[in-house]
Amino acid sequence: MKPRTLRANPTKAEHLLWQMLRQRQVDGRKFRRQQLIGRYIVDFVCLEFRLVVEVDGGQHADSQSDVSRDAWLKSEGYRVLRLWNNDVLQNLEGCVEAIRLALASLPPPNLPPSRGEG
């Protein structure tokens, strides 16, 4: 499936979370949805902090393919935060807070040196 198709047909949980993540509403950080990274399409990603947020249903419990996917993303420098659909639907603010905490725990992005330094 293509990212465009997934963006056009989000789950209810993905739609609700996107309403909170879009337009830099979480600590001014830009998120993208249904973003292609390597051969994987991730639900949401903050590229600046290399944080992937996945919203999963019960079919993902004990998923070996998710373990492999997370390992590959980690090898590429991404951190993966998995949220359950039910948690997003029942505790959206708590999920957004978990994303804030994950962003706060990540090192700041590498910025180019200011003019005159070096």
How many C-alpha atoms does 22 have within 13 Å on its Cβ side? 9
CATH code of the domain made up of 3-105 = 3.40.960.10
Q: Quote the pLDDT of residue 117.
A: 47
Phi, psi of 14, rounded to the nearest 5 degrees = -65, -40
User: 29, 46 in Cβ contact below 8 A?
Assistant: yes
Quick: pLDDT tens for 8-29: 778 999 999 999 999 999 999 9
Q: Is 116 left (phi over 0), alpha (psi -120 to 50) or beta?
A: left
pLDDT of residue 62 exceeding 70, the answer is no
Residue 37 is given by DSSP the state: E
Reported pTM: 0.83
